[in-house]
Chains A and B, each alone.
Chain A
Amino acid sequence: MQYKILSKDSLAGFVEALSKEYTVYAPKRDKKVPNKMVWKVLEADETPTFEFVNTEMSPKDFVFPQSECMMRFKAEGKEAMVLKPVEMDTERRVLLNVRPCDAKGLSFMDMIFCQDEQTNDVYWRDKRERTVMIGLACNNPCPSCFCLEANCGPHHEAGLDILMVDLGVNLLVKPLTERGKSIAASLPDAEAGEPERAAIIKRHAEDAMKKTFSTERVEQRSLMELYNLPYWERVCETCINCGTCTFVCPTCHCFDIQDEMPANGDTGRRVRNWDYCMAPLFTLHTSGHNPRGKKVARVRQRFMHKYKYIPMKRGGEVGCVGCGRCVRLCPVNIDIRDVINAMNAPDATAEGREV
């Protein structure tokens, strides 16, 4: 793989060239809330910032929008209730400076949305194919980051077309796919020594991350042993059952599909919205029965799903990339690392009260 070099001074030209074919999005500082990073279109005269940890929201909604109209239908007449697909959005876009954890998140969700011929979500796949991912390696992981433990890393490459490493004045550009190669083709080749500098930066970043949890016993333990831990009662008692952890998560992907009919009987729409396992309505059956009727069952679901059910189904892959958003943004500071440690602890049963 041929490394390229891009000086930050010539970034404007690079973005301008991209803008001819793509809408370029990058993390920008929010105007309303201090220190909040949001994904926004990079305007012609703007250069992206490199001084940030990560965006508040993961970029998953570029591919899996929080609300997405899938089909429309007429309520009355000859064609009543005939579902017609909506015209797909055609924007081709570049996500510039996407963090490796978020890119891994999207490649993880490829496994969910596009499993095989039968499970091949056109809404996901279409937008994913139209989205170029140019990553920015993480040189200063923050204390809530744990990507290394989640089979990811600050310089991870999965899901990216290009990985860039900030060397100070320059960015080292590593094309990873054919699309990435063609985008980087016009850039000058990196000089000898520059990839080595990037490797040292990577090592520093990894060394700076403290190992915060282990999963050996979670893997060995049976599903039912983990399911029945009294510890769940302890985690759930301060959880407020909001959806924050799932909404900010780059790998949470549950949704709800609803048909909406306007009051005037005009055209209706079939829309899919993010849903979340913490909500009582999420598993409510039409019969009135709710298999996860208690809060403790809902809280357990989130952690078991990410660290037990998904690894069992997906060859050991966990449903988490360690971005730390749920740690930082949980209103009551429930820390997934503590929960996994408790699932892994030999005396985990002693931690909780009897349910």
Chain B
Amino acid sequence: MMPARTEAIRAAARRLLEAGRVDAVIGYTQGTIPLRAQPFIAYTPEECDKLIWSSFCGGNLASIASGRTDRVAVVAQGCVSRNLNGLVHEKRIKRENLYIIGVPCLGMLDQRKVEAKLMGRNIETLKSDPEEDLGGIVITGCNSTRECFVEFIKRRDVKRDNCYTCMHRNPVGADEVVAEPVSETAGGDIDAVAAPWARFDADRRWDEFTKNFEDCIRCHACRDVCPLCYCTTCFVDESNPQWCGKTQDPADVQTFHILRAFHCAGRCTDCGACETACPQGIKMRRLTSMLEKDVRAKWGHEPGMDCDTKPPLSTYRPDDPEDHFK
């Protein structure tokens, strides 16, 4: 049986394209290997049959919508809808050109955690991917001598880290939603992610930060998958003047991550796409969590809750109490 969200997404997409309401629908299609979904753009009602929703739609489709000038519908869970609002605010896309097909989200799964449960065995199929939050997925596979296995893995054991502490699982400002609303938060404590950093002294913070990013290969997938990173030329690619070295020296790697994180501070929706995209499995949120916690604590701001509110770090007021602004 086709999962309910998939069926409803296809119906909505088909209706929008048939009515000429949009030129394209940005969603996901089945990945080419188990535990993957592939971003996919449907231009015709027929192509809508390829759209799916699964537990592995862990990228961020707002980055694909960003900068487009045609009329697009975007399939968006809570975090992605907030990124779309942010992009409207930052004039990367016009609201009248955008249609948000909202998906109340039960949390995405982390393929690395699933693979770890199967320790070295080849995953051939994801047999069952139910939509219940507390359900489980069924994985099967065989080795070359046809010794086969079937494994049941509870969804709650293999969710992506950010999905445990999600604060807005229902889409914000969607033009329509394809399922009944789910409980608004995932139940985890978002502030707890940053808590260790507050306890560490400066030396320990630097030490932890250095260790966290030591395996970075600077493929820049974290940047490229992020809807907040849309500069025409990123500061790490600028060659005249060159702000940042190209090497693997810790100073160059760290400069990239620190500056990128600060560019995103107060705009990040904690969608987790950067961590999902990283081929090295680096925990990017260890850096962003503290920045976002500060933004929540100091200004009570949650990014992307509407299209109008300015992110605090891009706001200037003449009565700012900080002396260095005057």
Contact = CB atoms under 8 A, between A and B. Distances in A.
B237 A280 contact: yes
Dominant secondary structure of chain B at its interface with chain A: loop
B300 to A, nearest CB: 33
Which bucket holds chain B's interface residue count? 35 or more
Nearest to A353: B43
Given A34-B112, A258-B246, A260-B245, A143 B38 contact: no
Contacts, number: 135
A21 interface: no
Interface string A19-62: 00000000000101111101000000000000111001100000
Interface string B274-289: 0011011100000000
Contacts of A353: 43
A30 B34 CA distance: 23
B127 interface: no
B279 A279 contact: no
A338 B221 contact: no
B100 interface: no
Contacts of A273: 246-248
Contacts of B145: 204
A57 B41 contact: no
Nearest to A30: B281
A196 to B, nearest CB: 16
Contacts of B218: 66, 243
Interface string B242-285: 00011111000000000000000000000001001101110000
A240 interface: yes
A144 interface: yes
Interface in B84-133: 112-113, 115-116, 119-120, 122-124
Contacts of A279: 237
A215 interface: no
B40 A238 contact: yes
Interface stretch (A157-165, A304-312, A327-335): A327-335
Contacts of B63: 240
Contacts of A66: 217-218, 248
B40 to A, nearest CB: 7
B207 to A, nearest CB: 15
Contacts of A143: 33-34, 122-124
Interface in A261-281: 271, 273, 276, 279-281
Contacts of A243: 218-221
A67 B249 contact: yes
Contacts of B239: 281, 284
Contacts of A33: 112, 280-281
A248 to B, nearest CB: 6
A246 B277 CA distance: 14
Contact of B144 (A30, A52, A207, A244): A207
Contacts of B41: 237-238
Contacts of B32: 327, 333, 335, 337-338
A242 B225 contact: yes
B309 interface: no
Nearest to B68: A237
Interface residues of A, number: 56
B281 A32 contact: yes
Nearest to A334: B38
Nearest to B122: A142
A244 B120 CA distance: 22
A231 interface: no
B171 interface: no
A256 B246 contact: yes
A259 B147 CA distance: 55
A202 B237 CA distance: 46
B31 interface: yes
Contact of B279 (A30, A247, A256): A247
B33 A333 contact: yes
A204 B36 CA distance: 27
Which residue, of B34, B115, B122, B239, has the highest number of chain A Cβ atoms within 10 A?
B122
A353 B277 CA distance: 28
Interface string A132-164: 000000011111100000000000000000000
A208 interface: yes
Which residue, of B43, B63, B124, B280, has the highest number of chain A Cβ atoms within 10 A?
B280
Nearest to B238: A281
Contact of B225 (A52, A57, A240, A280): A240
Given A51-B120, A143-B33, A353-B43, A248 B279 contact: yes
A241 interface: yes
Contacts of A258: 246
A139 B144 contact: yes
Contacts of B233: 280
B64 interface: yes
A205 interface: yes
Contacts of B217: 57, 66, 247
A147 to B, nearest CB: 13
Interface string B215-228: 10111110111000
B220 A242 contact: yes
B143 interface: yes
Which residue, of A35, A53, A332, has the highest number of chain B Cβ atoms within 10 A?
A332
Interface in B153-188: none
B59 interface: yes
28 contacts: A32-B215, A34-B281, A36-B280, A51-B119, A56-B279, A56-B281, A66-B248, A140-B122, A141-B144, A201-B144, A204-B144, A208-B143, A208-B144, A238-B38, A242-B220, A242-B223, A242-B225, A242-B277, A243-B218, A247-B217, A248-B279, A258-B246, A284-B239, A331-B221, A331-B277, A332-B59, A335-B33, A338-B32
Given A142-B123, A238-B40, 8 more contacts: A67-B246, A143-B124, A205-B144, A242-B221, A271-B247, A284-B239, A332-B59, A333-B31
Task: Rank and list the top 3 A-B pairs by shortest CB-CB distance, nearest first.
Answer: A34-B116, A33-B281, A331-B277
